[in-house]
Amino acid sequence: MTEHPRQDEPRSFLRAAGSISGMTMVSRILGLLRDMLTSYALGVSWASGTFVLAWMLPNLLRRLFGEGALSAAFIPAYSKKLAAGDGQGARALLAGVSGGLLILLTCLAVLVLLLSFFMPVEAWGLAGEGVSETERGSLMSELLAILFPYVIPVCLLAVYAGALNSLGVFAIPAAAPIVLNLCWIGGLMIALWQGGGDLAGMTRIIAFCLLGGGLLQLLLAVIPLLRRGQFSAPRVPQPGGPEWGVFRSMGPAILGLSLVQLNLLLDQALAEYLVGAGASFHIFLSNRLLLLPHALVALPIAVAIFPRLANLAGSDSGDELRATLGRALRNTLFLAVPAAAGLMLIAGDLIEAIFVGGQYGLADVPDTRWTTVALVAGLPALGASQLYVRALYALGEVAAPARIAAWLVLLNLALNLSFVLGLGMGVAGFTLATSCCAFINLAALKLKTDRVRPSEEMLAKGYYLRLLLATAVMSAAVFGSQGLFAVDSRLELVLFRLVVPILAGIGSYALVHLLMRSPELTPLLRVLRRR
């Protein structure tokens, strides 16, 4: 094989990925601000632990649909109708899928609301920090009743975002998390102003603002579809309609694209029960720090390349699909590996600079740091896995990723118990188990893809050597620059322990690749010049 990618198609999906990354960068910066305010307002407390538990169920569904299963099942079917010039069929598919989803989620929301109102609050089995099971269980039920209906607008958003992506519109759907973060920050400001020391009351205010944010996110996607004449109001799915094919594909896709999120859900629940009240908040903050590089260097490429893979799956013998997948994989690892290494090195200083203050103290930093290091170690595997899963879905192989993910959820549970209870690793054991499963998942997905579409396209040894050498030099630059200056204030901490090491790392990484004339750098530079 040749290591030099063709220049036209790589630039097209890299431009799309760059558009997504631009919006996502704004969203993640706002996300860090909101998490800083959340840690300041709630800290590692029984209230923050309860809020995380109540939020993670609707948030899991958001990630499954918004970043996974629904898009994986809907985009190929919708793209094929657009490619065939069947605009009316595409709109009918959009209406049927959104209508079926609306009915399903409304019924599910009603069921959860009834459960929240009628289930004994003691059944949650939550206590800690001087609060009774009744008090904490009552807050859990209230927050779940407020937050769960959020899944209705945000999952409909996933359908409309998939339609926009198929139409070549990536920036607008990528801007939706900005709206949510702004609503969350607004809720925190109101809570700090009105809540005082009432941690439970503050979580309720935040929850109501998140529900409102879901409605605003949905509006953000509906408007551009209306302007393009592609919006169709939700309708009841018709017997034998094309939407049923999408729904049949969604079930397996939910497990296939959601391994890390399912494992994190399990981690947070077990942490709260096995480690102690508020332990899940460490995982929450670590996941937020992981999402920043993931959203900038891994997810945008996977989202941008998926429509292309869906089109190639039915129109070529497989060589072009594997070549496209190979180029996406090279670009993903080219960014994800150094991002993971750099974040692991600066994690402690980053957490101290962002989160320490108010209810979150210096004593909380070590647990969050090691939890973050263990989780971020799996970033390259997470990014590469999402490419292979999307390739398999484009090829119609929706069951295999689901089977793999199901086994790995069980393995994650076994590793959790081994690391946390057996080895006494504390809360960091949960995220270490998640990262181990991410690498195993990648190996299994690659093996399945190779069997479905055999190809000689693979990453050459020269690529790995360049990647490892540049990452090693970058890591040395980051580590060496961290101790150059003494710090006596938060500003100095940010400048000398974060900004200087980050710039040193980026500069050294790029310089090494320039000196080696790495072909992977060329399309990225061209995209940057165009932007």
Rounded Cα distance, 18 and 20, in Å: 5
Phi first, then psi, for residue 131 (nearest 5°) are -110, 150
CA 400, 403, 406 angle in degrees (round to 5)? 150
Nearest to 75 by CA among 321, 390, 397: 390
Residue type present at position 43 = G
How many CB atoms within 10 Å of residue 2?
A: 9
Residue with tokens 């090279």: 330
How many CB atoms within 10 Å of residue 103?
A: 13
How many CB atoms within 10 Å of residue 123?
A: 12
What spatial distance separates the first Cα and last Cα of the chain, rounded to whole Å?
31
Structure tokens at 310: 């869906």
Nearest to 329 by CA among 396, 380, 253: 380
Residue type present at position 233 = A
Rounded Cα distance, 72 and 405, in Å: 15
Max CA pair span of the chain = 69
Query: What's the burial of 57, exposed, middle or buried (CB within 10 Å: 0-12/13-18/19+)?
Result: middle
Residue with tokens 């890299």: 14
Q: Where are the alpha helices (H) located in 148-242, listed in sequence order?
A: 151-166, 171-174, 176-195, 199-227
SS3 assignment, position 1: coil
- What lies within 8 Å, CB to CB, of 340 at 6+ separation is 293, 376, 377, 378, 379, 380
How many CB atoms within 10 Å of residue 499?
A: 12
Cα atoms in the Cβ-side hemisphere of radius 13 Å centred on 461: 0
For each of the chain's 531 residues, which pLDDT tens digit applies?
A: 334 444 444 445 555 555 566 677 788 788 888 888 888 888 888 888 889 888 888 877 776 665 556 666 787 788 888 877 888 888 888 888 889 889 988 998 999 899 888 888 777 767 666 677 788 888 889 999 999 999 899 888 888 888 887 787 777 777 888 998 999 999 999 988 876 678 888 999 999 999 999 999 999 888 888 888 888 888 888 887 778 877 776 665 555 555 556 666 777 778 877 777 678 888 888 888 887 787 667 666 666 666 667 666 666 555 777 777 878 888 888 889 999 999 999 999 999 988 888 888 888 899 999 999 999 999 999 888 888 888 887 777 777 777 787 788 888 889 988 998 888 888 899 899 989 999 999 999 988 888 877 665 555 677 888 899 999 999 999 999 988 888 888 888 999 999 999 999 999 998 998 888 888 776 666 555 554
Contact 430, 371 (CB under 8 A): yes
Cα atoms in the Cβ-side hemisphere of radius 13 Å centred on 359: 21
Q: What is the pLDDT of residue 303?
A: 61
Contact 221, 164 (CB under 8 A): yes
Structure tokens at 226: 């209306």
Q: What is the pLDDT of residue 2?
A: 39
Q: What is the pLDDT of residue 474?
A: 94
